[in-house]
Structures are given as structure tokens and as C-alpha cells.
Amino acid sequence: MGKDTLTGLKVRHAMRKQIVMLQPHDTIDCCIQYLIKYKINALLIGHDGQKPLGVVSKTDIMGAWYSGMELSTPIEMIMNAPPLFCLPEDTLDSALNTMKTNNIYRLYALNEDTNCAVGAIAYPDIVGMLYLYCSKCAQGLFNKAQKTIQQSVKRYKVFEVMTKDVESCREDDSLESVVEILSASRFGAILIADNDNYPKGVISKTDIILCYRHGLQLNIPARRIMSTPVALCHQEAPVESAIKSMILKDLHRLFVVPRKNQPVSGIISLSDAARHRSGSCHACISSRIKVDEEC
């Protein structure tokens, strides 16, 4: 197997050090507040100074709403236990493999001496790190000093990485239907489109858990809460520019169109880019970018 950009890198290079942990008796309401405030998709449950007991994600919260739970329900009732851990010294490759094998989107790094969580690693963090290396690379798309090198580099295009089967809901569909589809989806948001798949809006898992917290009902139509306009990118665009756009817009996914004013043909997420396990140009496949410790 050839080297890719992540070969040799450790979990500690990419992990986020901010850990949010709530107590098992804290409520679902409190959990939503922390997920929104810290812009995270999941948080740990446990007692201070001890090994975390479980994880609660936005998907679990959606499930709680769907099943009619009160916001005052303790989060231990809905947590997934035990959490899966890795070590800061593990390779990113092995962390990614664990995530893929277990079909999970994040891993927590555990300090073996203290038994406490010291970091969290998720796909967007890995993409973020790849982007940093791409931006410093002489062959990087946005490296203005190296225009001549750049023109000769073959770059991954969005259509090579995107997921083609895009699920969508209609504006009149109830939030209940939206929750059903989103719960089974690996994406954090669903497209609201017309019958010809022209984009009308987006509803994210964040939007859904906010509705739950605000006391809305599951029978209201999608159009009432969907965000507009839909963040789009062209399928011929370089992956690097799509990643840049997601990073700047604080989005985890973009919907893809063949050309302006066309129906949606795909979706590209930061996770897709991370799964690709390389930077955004073919150069990374044969010669891994050198990574300095202080990066």
C-alpha cells in the first residue's frame, strides 16, 4: 500500500484539546445547550476526574425528541456506552480505521495514566490539518508564489470525491420525516429540494435539536425552519477550494451542482475529504508532505 498524506502522523497532531463533559444526571436540555454553545456534534458523559462513561451525539438527541422524551430527561438515559478511545500516540491511520470499522465519526483520546479524556478527533479536524499542509505546500492551489508549479499539478475535483446519491425532503414534509431520514444519514444536514431536485433549503441536525429545545412540534413543515440559501459548489471545482469554502463558512458539507442553476448532483462533506486520506492534489499520493512537530 502506498503512502498517503496521513502516514506517520499521530492523533495528537490533529486532536482538539477542548473536552466537554457533562454528568450523567444532567438533562437533555443542558446537553443541547453545550452542543450549541461549543459547536460540537457530541459530548462525553462522566464524573469529573474519572474515565468517561458514555457519549451523546446530536443524532441521539434527535432520537430522544422523536421518541417523545422530555427535555428534563437525564442524559444517561440516551448515552452510548462505553465511548471508544484511542491514545494520543496512536497513528491517525489507525484512528481513521477504528472510526471506519465502527461506523463512528469521532474518537476520544485517553491519557492512560490519569484515565481522563485529553482530546477528541473527528473527520473535520483531520481535513483541517490536511488543509494546513496543502496551504504551505509549493503545489498548493492557494500558494501564490508558485503559480508555475501549480498549473502542472493534477488536482482532485469535487465530483471525484462527492457522494452522488443525495437524499432530500420536500418543503411540505414534516420534521418527523426529516428526523427519520437525518437519523439514518451519515451527513449532518439534509437538502430540502423541489421535485426536480432544485435546492430550496437545508435542515441540519443543529436546527433539529434547537427546535426540540424551543418546544416546536414534530408535525410542522420543513419550510418553517429550513435555512436558505443552500451553500453550493460546482462539481468541476478543485476539492481544495470546496474545503476552503466549508472552513470559512463553518459548514460541514456543500451541495454540488454541475453548473449554476442546475439541480443538485451530489454532496461533498469534510468527512468525504478526510476519508480520501490525502491532500487535494495527486502529488500527495507519491510523496508525503513533510510534517514538522511544531505544525
How many residues form the binding site for another protein (CB under 8 A)?
Answer: 24
Nearest approach, Cβ of 281 to another protein (angstroms)?
Answer: 17
| C-alpha radius of gyration, the chain, whole number | 20
**CA distances to 151, 154, 160 from 3, in Å:** 24, 18, 20
Which residue, 77 or 295, has its beta carbon nearer to another protein? Answer: 295
Q: Which H helix or E strand runs over 158?
A: helix 158-161
Of 35-43, 83-91, 102-110, 183-191, the window that binds another protein (rule: CB under 8 A) is 35-43
Q: Rounded to whole angstroms, how far apart are CA atoms 264 and 199?
A: 7
What is the rounded end-to-end Cα distance, in angstroms, of the chain?
Answer: 26
SS3 157: strand
Three cell numbers written together for 122: 473527528
Which residue, 127 or 158, has its beta carbon nearer to another protein? Answer: 127
Which residue, 34 or 66, has its beta carbon nearer to another protein? Answer: 34
Which residue, 133 or 265, has its beta carbon nearer to another protein? Answer: 133
Binder of another protein out of 48, 70, 113, 250 (CB under 8 A): 250
Three cell numbers written together for 253: 458539507
Binder of another protein out of 69, 181, 210, 218 (CB under 8 A): 210
The answer to the question of residue 259 lying near another protein (CB under 8 A) is no
The answer to the question of residue 53 lying near another protein (CB under 8 A) is no
The answer to the question of residue 213 lying near another protein (CB under 8 A) is yes
The answer to the question of residue 39 lying near another protein (CB under 8 A) is yes
Given a contact cutoff of 8 angstroms between Cβ atoms, the answer to whether 45 and 82 are in contact is no
The answer to the question of residue 32 lying near another protein (CB under 8 A) is yes
Which residue, 32 or 78, has its beta carbon nearer to another protein? Answer: 32
The answer to the question of residue 119 lying near another protein (CB under 8 A) is no
Which residue, 186 or 249, has its beta carbon nearer to another protein? Answer: 249
Q: Are strands 199-204 and 232-234 parallel, antiparallel or unpaired?
A: unpaired
Task: Please give the distance of CA 276 from its chain centroid, rounded to a whole number.
Answer: 14
| 42: number of Cβ within 10 Å | 24
Which residue, 116 or 130, has its beta carbon nearer to another protein? Answer: 130
HSE (side-chain half, CA atoms, 13 Å) at 276: 28
The answer to the question of residue 73 lying near another protein (CB under 8 A) is no
Backbone angles phi, psi at 286, to 5 degrees: -90, -30
Binder of another protein out of 30, 84, 149, 237 (CB under 8 A): 30
Q: Rounded to whole angstroms, how far apart are CA atoms 291 and 287?
A: 12
The answer to the question of residue 188 lying near another protein (CB under 8 A) is no
The secondary structure of the chain in percent helix, strand, coil, rounded to multiples of 5, reads 35, 20, 45
Nearest approach, Cβ of 132 to another protein (angstroms)?
Answer: 5
Q: Which residues would be at the binding site for another protein (CB under 8 A)?
A: 30, 32-33, 36-39, 124, 128, 131-132, 135-136, 142, 144, 207, 210, 213-214, 244, 247-250
